[in-house]
């Protein structure tokens, strides 16, 4: 059997790109088949930054900065130039030029697209084939790129192994009237906002967002901070079910402060268009809106891959893989949200590393998500790793689990920046083993990385106690939380307390 590549990677996701670069670094021969890279996630993060800055400038107005100065600061940030001075302040405390904000986001995406361009990948040694294709099993396993029905020649790629990194597509619920009324998804919202290649002058004023996933929460807050009226509807008791309930309640409160109307434990039963307005029936509520965003979840993007012919099984919302990320065909691996779960970039990149090692060498490496953090890019940010409080207490005896918590308001850095909303929770065992952490607050995404590293290296909470963070910084919240563990240990150890008391009493009287 002729083998052209050590691995053929299928899919234009960032995880697929990272896997291709990692394989090249290991001196493997790599083909990357990508129909088109979706930078929707980057669009979202760039626009979120504008929303966050708008909020910061509104706060600045409350500190006495003139509205025209705040608007000027926003223009400088978006355009990089100093615009003409505004003469009137008869406007809202801070306004956002929507078209310019979208152009800023587009510029960020353009820069990243250049960094991940086929030319750059090819220069590094990746054989990039732009297009789509399908698996073929006869006379031997291969991946044919090109549309056979078009009459154009196909290119058959033969690899020792294959890695599916094709991402996911939106899962659409069966709601009466939704298809005929029309809706947006996380996949096409950015194309909608750009219109015919140019940003729309302003977004629809009223939005209803269906679904409690990280991106739906982030977009809801961003749109609200950019002046839209937003209603977020979720079926679960909390806005994001995997979150620690205490953190979820705080996050919901923050969304409501920002102007997002949050409706939980509610099912949408029908959608209608009445006189150019969309109406949603959510429980016993009828809600009028300009636009609907469906973000309830994702399903694998397996269109026309001909997986059944090569023995790969899948369900509606996930591809079947084992702990080594092998599909039911042991030469085909998969990573990212094509195998199910949220569209979380660092999870996909972690899975790509494991799948690639197994595909290039031997399938010896299992996935272990216990030490992989994930984050909601809200403001303030929410991050989590390992077990939540409820999960830890259900897996271990309640007496074994210590829940350590501290609030950001005690931090000097938080007080200086006026970002005191936040909490850090550590779940640990009596022996100091860290089971998990949940953080809501500024720099939560960076802080959770430190705790995840400690967990992956089996560093106990005692090891974190040796951390001497920069002062002032948000990293101090970890040190302050760990102090709670030391305090509780000392309070439980009566013998040690008596020894310390006697020791210092002896020392005080030594030279008398």
Interior CA angle at 171 toward 289 and 17, to 5°? 115
| pLDDT tens figures, 450-488 | 999 999 999 999 888 888 889 999 999 999 999 888 888
| Residue spans of beta strands (DSSP E) within 30-109 | 30-34
| pLDDT tens figures, 182-205 | 999 988 887 787 665 565 567 789
- Residue count of the chain: 512
> Which residue pairs from 26-29 have beta carbons closer than 8 angstroms and sit at least 24 positions apart in sequence?
26/360, 28/360, 29/4, 29/5, 29/127
Indicate the DSSP class of residue 148: G
For residues 116 and 109, is the Cβ–Cβ distance under 8 A? no
Percent of the chain with pLDDT over 90: 49
pLDDT confidence bin for 90, thresholds 50/70/90 = very low
pLDDT confidence bin for 140, thresholds 50/70/90 = confident
Domains assigned to the chain: 5-37+116-169+299-367 (3.50.50.60), 40-111 (no CATH), 172-296 (3.50.50.60), 371-495 (3.30.390.30)
Indicate the DSSP class of residue 438: E
Average pLDDT, the chain: 84
Cα separation, 241 vs 212, in Å, equals: 8
CA distances from 188 to 149, 194, 280, 294, 509 (A): 27, 10, 21, 11, 77
Query: Residue 484: which region, alpha, beta or left (left: phi > 0; alpha: psi -120 to 50)?
Result: alpha
Q: What is the pLDDT of residue 98?
A: 66
Whose structure tokens read 């959510």? 282
pLDDT at residue 72 tops 60: no
Cα separation, 334 vs 356, in Å, equals: 9
Whose structure tokens read 């918590």? 405
Cβ-based neighbour number of residue 281 at 10 Å: 17
Here the tokens at position 36 are: 């088109």
DSSP H or E run through 100: helix 98-115
Cα separation, 108 vs 508, in Å, equals: 64
């Amino acid at each position: 059997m002729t083998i052209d590549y050590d691995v053929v990677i299928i899919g234009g996701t960032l995880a697929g790109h990272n896997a291709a670069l990692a394989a090249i670094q290991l001196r493997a021969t790599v083909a990357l088949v990508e129909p088109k890279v979706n930078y929707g996630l980057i669009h979202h993060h760039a626009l979120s930054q504008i929303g966050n800055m708008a909020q910061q400038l509104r706060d600045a107005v409350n500190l006495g900065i003139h509205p025209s100065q705040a608007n000027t600061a926003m223009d400088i940030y978006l355009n990089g130039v100093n615009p003409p001075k505004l003469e009137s302040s008869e406007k809202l405390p801070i306004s956002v030029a929507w078209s310019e904000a979208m152009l800023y986001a587009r510029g960020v995406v353009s820069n990243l697209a250049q960094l991940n361009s086929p030319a750059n990948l090819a220069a590094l040694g990746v054989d990039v084939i732009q297009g789509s294709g399908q698996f073929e099993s006869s006379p031997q396993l291969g991946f044919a790129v090109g549309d056979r029905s078009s009459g154009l020649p196909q290119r058959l790629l033969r690899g020792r192994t294959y890695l599916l990194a094709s991402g996911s597509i939106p899962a659409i619920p069966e709601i009466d009237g939704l298809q005929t009324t029309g809706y947006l998804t996380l996949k096409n919202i950015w194309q909608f906002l750009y219109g015919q290649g140019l940003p729309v002058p302003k977004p629809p004023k009223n939005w209803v967002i269906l679904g409690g996933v990280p991106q739906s929460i982030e977009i809801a807050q961003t749109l609200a901070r950019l002046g839209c009226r937003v209603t977020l509807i979720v079926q679960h008791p909390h806005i994001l079910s995997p979150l620690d309930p205490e953190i979820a309640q705080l996050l919901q409160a923050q969304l409501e402060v920002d102007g997002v109307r949050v409706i939980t434990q509610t099912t949408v039963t029908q959608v209608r268009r009445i006189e150019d307005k969309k109406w949603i029936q959510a429980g016993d509520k009828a809600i009028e809106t300009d636009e609907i965003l469906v973000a309830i979840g994702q399903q694998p993007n397996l269109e026309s891959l001909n997986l059944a012919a090569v023995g790969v099984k899948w369900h509606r919302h996930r591809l079947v893989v084992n702990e080594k990320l092998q599909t039911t065909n042991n030469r085909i691996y998969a990573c990212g949200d094509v195998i199910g779960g949220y569209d979380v970039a660092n999870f996909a990149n972690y899975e790509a590393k494991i799948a690639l090692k197994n595909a290039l060498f031997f399938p010896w490496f299992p996935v272990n998500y216990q030490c992989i953090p994930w984050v909601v890019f809200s403001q303030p940010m929410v991050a989590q790793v390992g077990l939540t409080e409820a999960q830890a207490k259900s897996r271990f005896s309640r007496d074994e689990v210590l829940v350590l918590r501290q609030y950001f308001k005690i931090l000097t850095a938080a007080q200086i920046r006026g970002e005191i909303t936040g909490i850090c929770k550590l779940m640990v065992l009596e022996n100091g083993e860290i089971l998990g952490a949940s953080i809501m607050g500024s720099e939560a995404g960076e802080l959770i990385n430190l705790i995840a590293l400690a967990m992956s290296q089996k560093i106990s909470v005692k090891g974190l106690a040796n951390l001497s963070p920069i002062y002032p910084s948000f990293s101090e919240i970890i040190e302050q939380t760990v102090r709670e563990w030391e305090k509780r240990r000392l309070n439980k150890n009566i013998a040690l307390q008596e020894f310390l008391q006697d020791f210092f009493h002896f020392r005080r009287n030594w030279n008398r």
